[in-house]
Amino acid sequence: MLFVVISMHIWDKSYSLIAWLALVAFYLIYPHVQYWRSVSSSDPLRTEMSNLVFDALLVGVSIAALQFPLWISFAATLGVLTDNTANKGMRGIWESILAFVLGASTWVVLFGFKLSMETDIYTTLFCIVGLTGYLLAVSNIGFARNVQLRTTREKLKSREQELLDSNQTLIKHLAEISELQHQLHEQANRDPLTGLYNRRYLDSTLERELSRCMREGQPLTLLMMDIDYFKHVNDLYGHQAGDEMLVRLGKMLTGLARAGDVACRYGGEEFLLFMPSMALEAGQSRAEQLRKDFAEMQVEFGEFCLQTTLSIGVAVYPGHGTSGDELIRAADAALYQAKHTGRDRVVVMAGQ
């Protein structure tokens, strides 16, 4: 646009060949040199920003050389300001003004100041139309960028929602996995029939609780129990009847156990209950209550009503042992004694 406008102006003013050569150099050749310089640079964006400043400098030189024609000066200055502002913001305005003034001042210092602001009607009209078209083009580019920005923002918002949904799904799956892991852990440590802990859990827990009782100077009472005449129940009524009796004993132990107590199915019809921070007298009292409750319990099985008794051996830390194995052996020995002295009784291991 500037090339056409300035061509019309210098034709009207009958400028020399040098003016035409300068016009071709500034407005036809120089833009291609700019482009080559930018694409060849290691930092094209930074180079292009410096080109914009140099544009303002050259526009200042050419406007001063043309003796500051009003409409051409206005269009060229506004175009340079628009380019720099669109790419640099407020900093671009001050840079372009300083570069323009520097370029015009350089020409004035070298060749003197001359002022001829008039342009013919055709040059003026083309300048107005060209400037309007340029500003509309810049506005349309801004509009297109805004549309692209809104589209990108909507896509990002959609992606963000997708990520949030995926994150919620992942959290749900992790919770399900955690729950499954907990269930697997429970299944690995629980007896499937009675729901009590198994030998595996007992082995990993008893020593830990004993160590805590040692540190805190607290006792630990352990009960080992066995259902009397259990084989007779199985042989006479079947294994389902025996299983039902085991289940009922498991529920009874669960109801008896405190928060820190651990009830286990030790094997077959043998059960174990250890109670941290419980002295022997209190533990023996619990055992007696358990024996009495079990003896009074009636298990309905079909048309039969089953009833039997419980033998219990009691051992306590530290009197009967300082390790889990020692306590279990002591309680088992007391249980053996209860079995062979009439059953349906609680026996405390000798030595306490």
In the DSSP assignment, the letter for residue 340 is T
Query: Domain range holding 23?
Result: 2-150
The residue among 150, 168, 190 that closes a domain is: 150
Same structural domain, 68 and 125: yes
Give the Cα separation of 60 and 40 in Å (integer): 27
Number of domains in the chain: 2
Is residue 334 a contact partner of residue 225, using CB atoms and an 8 Å limit? no
Same structural domain, 235 and 115: no
Q: Report the CATH number that the domain containing residue 299 is assigned in CATH.
A: 3.30.70.270
Residue labelled with tokens 């000798």:
350
Same structural domain, 19 and 122: yes
Same structural domain, 208 and 121: no
The residues annotated as belonging to the active site are 269
Give the Cα separation of 228 and 280 in Å (integer): 24
Taking residues 253-261, report their average pLDDT: 91
Residue 145 Cα to chain centre, angstroms: 33
Confidence of residue 142 (pLDDT cuts 50, 70, 90): confident
pLDDT digits (tens, 9 = 90+) for 197-218: 998 899 889 999 999 999 999 9
Q: Is the dihedral of CA 168, 173, 176, 177 positive or negative?
A: negative
pLDDT digits (tens, 9 = 90+) for 4-42: 999 999 998 889 899 899 999 988 999 999 899 899 999
- 346: part of which helix (H) or strand (E)? strand 346-348
